[in-house]
Structure 1
Amino acid sequence: MTHMTQGRNSIKDVQNSCDERGIAIQKVGVSDVHLPFLIKTKSGSFQTVLAKIKLTVDLPEEFKGTHMSRFIEILSDWSQKPVLYRDMEYMLTDTIDRLQAKRAHIDINFKYFIEKTAPVSGLKSMLDYDCVFSGELARGEHLDFTFGITVPFTSLCPCSKEISQYGAHNQRGIMRAKIKQQLGKFVWIEDLAEMMEQQGSCQVYPLLKREDEKYVTEKAYENPKFVEDVLRDLVLMLRKVDGIQWFEVECENYESIHNHSAYAAHVESVDK
């Protein structure tokens, strides 16, 4: 036996000692872990993203602590493999096995980039979307998976358009959606983003020429919506998406003539 092995074996493992306070911990692990991750795309390839991750397991009342280093080992291994719904189930199964736990949970927050085409000039550019994959798995059960995305949009105030002799004030807004789908169902990030963008007065584009700016300005003017309108149209759209069991949506307009935002939210279980 080498000197290094002897030294490692002689180090006291405090976290494996017994705790007598009788309190089980539902979630213990690591948070704010930043790693490059590979996210599967609709095209069949993958996109490298910078992910901020929280990975936890349950801890029985008799154990003093968990093995924190193992979480980093797991995430480092999985950061090299493209991740989607089914892959998260394998990842959490791996976590449960390595940590000898009954339940594991993960949140992967990341920016995802989708190519956008300007409406008139046809110029292409990349727009970033804040996304989160959340998964919870109990030993011997199926993955409980939630997907969230934040989508920017333009809205134009119907009241301003109605009462003004010319013009109407508009604002940039964001809509957030979290969805939970039936086992075996999955909606791609690209598809959900596109469906959500249709619910505002107009889409947001990173790159616009003069002819594009004219188009989006007039399109928003022809399609005025309150924040409540955007939210309700978003709800109606999500009700039609195949396999959704539950969703939570929020809309927020960053008002251009007020020093506050307009906000609306809705949560719904879908019975299909």
Structure 2
Amino acid sequence: MSSYTSSALPDITHESSSFSSSRIDAVGMEGIAIPLHVQDKKGNVIASTAKADVTVSLDDNHAKGIHMSRLYNLLQEHLSDRVLGSIQLSELMNALVSSQAGLSTSATLSLQFTLTLSRPALISKTAGYQHYDAALTLKSNEGKTRTQLRISIPYSSTCPCSASLSRQALAEAFQAQFENKPLDTNVIREWLASKQASIATAHAQRSFAHITLDLINNTVPDFVDIIDLAENTLATPLQTAVKREDEQEFAKRNAQNLMFVEDAVRRLHDALSTYSHATYFHVKVEHQESLHAHDAVAEISGAINSH
């Protein structure tokens, strides 16, 4: 038989600190695994897995430490079996502070997760899955909570300078091929479709738009809506499953939407300036160069004045 008795177990958090009496800004845990469920505007529930970082302040100068296990248990209770919502998160932030029984006045929660979404091809009825890295950070201080969203959206970008040089090379090859020859449209078309006309190719690169939004009224946004807004603005989203007609359309879109990093951030600036669910935005775009061993980047930010 067990010799365990029901006597109270010690809790040294009630003991006084042996060090200097200093307030601690944040203490807690990082990298907590938690299932996460978000919902789009159509009511579809998207399952994901998050890594949660959670901290509270330790304002009692004489307390040895916080009740850390209470933070962990509250995350499980409020997040593991529920769809992410603003009311739910507000209740969680209040509970994180109150769980410390007067030791804390502020709390911070960061959820880092990946959304895996089915995305259609450009022309055919083919579809495949694309992933988007995201993070939702909430900071509560004396009952007031601020919420910030970060999401990374991949896309393709083709260099305008490279495209111009490629066109010039083709024009020179065309002139050399047909100068002083009668112009026959069928012959020209046949030449343009041949390998002989593959004189130069504009260089393109996989690119990323890293978007940060300060959300209004701590609203949990429609993540798919933000992704659609960015991808439609840039017009060259990365593809998943494709057929030849989709690949050709992708090439056409890149040609029609030649972009330096400056072009990309300005497009996103104009699109996000009227995003009504946020008060402020910041965008960093990154073009992972295929010409150079380094990358091109640009950043832009602004207030949203549509409220």
Q: TM-score, normalised by structure 1?
A: 0.92
State the distance in 2 between where 1:56 and 1:226 align: 40
C-alpha separation in 2, matches of 1:45 and 1:91: 23
- Structure 1 distance, partners of 2:88, 2:132, is 21
> What is aligned with 1:128?
131
Q: Equivalent pairs: percent with the same residue?
A: 24
Q: Which residue in 2 is equivalent to 1:58?
A: 57
Report the CA distance shift for 1:10/1:150 in structure 2 as closer, same or farther (over 3 A): closer
* Contact 2:85/2:220 (8 A) holds in 1: no
Alignment-mate amino acid for residue 152 of structure 1: P
Q: Give me the whole-angstrom Cα distance separating, in 1, the residues matched to 2:297 and 2:118.
A: 28
Aligned residue in 2 for 1:47: 46
SS at 1:72's partner residue? helix
Deviation, 1:136, is 1.3
Structure number having the greater strand percentage: 1
2:77 corresponds in structure 1 to 77
Deviation at 1:10, TM superposition (A): 4.3
The count of aligned residue pairs is: 267
AA paired with 1:145?
A: T
| Residue 185 of structure 1: how far off its partner (Å) | 5.2
Q: Is the 8 A contact 2:86 2:219 kept in 1?
A: no
| Partner Cα distance (1:43, 1:68) in 2 | 38
5 Å matches for 1:141-180?
141=144, 143-164=145-166, 165=169, 166-180=200-214
1:202 and 2:236 aligned: yes
More deviation, 54-63/150-159: 54-63
Cα distance change of structure 1 residues 63 and 202 upon mapping to structure 2, 3 Å threshold: same
**Deviations 1:117-150 (CA, angstroms, capped at 9, x unpaired):** 1011121212111111111122333x21111110
- For 1:144 and 1:75, locate their aligned partners in 2 and report how far apart those are by CA, in whole Å: 18
Please say if 1:227 is aligned against 2:261.
Answer: yes
TM-fit CA distance, 1:102: 1.2
Match of 2:16 in 1: 18
2:39·2:222 contact (CA, 8 Å) conserved in 1?
no
Segment drifting more, 177-186 vs 254-263: 177-186
User: Contact 1:156–1:201 (CA<8 Å) still a contact in 2?
Assistant: no
User: Per-residue deviation at 1:86?
Assistant: 2.8
Instruction: Find the aligned partners of 1:94 and 1:81 in 2 and give their Cα distance.
Output: 16
Conservation of the 8 A alpha-carbon contact between 1:155 and 1:201 = no
Q: What's the counterpart of residue 90 of structure 2?
A: 89
**Residues 246-257 of structure 1: pairs in structure 2 closer than 5 A:** 246-257=280-291
- The question of whether the paired residues in 1 share the 8 Å contact of 2:34 and 2:51 is answered with yes
1:28 is aligned to 27
Superposed displacement of residue 271, structure 1: 3.8
CA deviation vs aligned residue, 1:27-46 (integer Å, no higher than 9, x gap) = 11110111212223332242
Does the Cα contact within 8 Å between 1:115 and 1:126 map onto a contact in 2?
yes
Q: Could you tell me whether the CA contact under 8 Å between 1:168 and 1:221 is conserved in 2?
A: no
User: Structure 2: which amino acid aligns with 1:231?
Assistant: V
SS, match of residue 178 in structure 1:
strand
Per the TM alignment, residue 267 of structure 1 is displaced from its structure 2 partner at its CA by: 2.9
Q: Could you tell me how far apart the structure 2 residues matched to 1:147 and 1:10 are?
A: 41
Counterpart amino acid of residue 160 in structure 1? S
RMSD: 1.8
Q: 1:29 to 1:196 in 2, by over 3 A?
A: same
Measure the CA separation in 2 of the matches of 1:185 and 1:48: 19
Deviation at 1:186, TM superposition (A): 5.4
TM superposition shift of 1:182: 2.2
Equivalent residue, structure 2, for 1:139: 142
Indicate the larger mover: 73-82 or 246-255.
73-82
Partner of 2:197: none
1-side partners of 2:245 and 2:6: how far apart? 70
**Contact map agreement 1:106 1:136 (CA 8 A) in 2:** yes
d(CA) in 1 for partners of 2:237, 2:303:
27
Whichever of the two has the greater Rg, that structure is 2
1:202 is paired with a residue whose SS is: coil
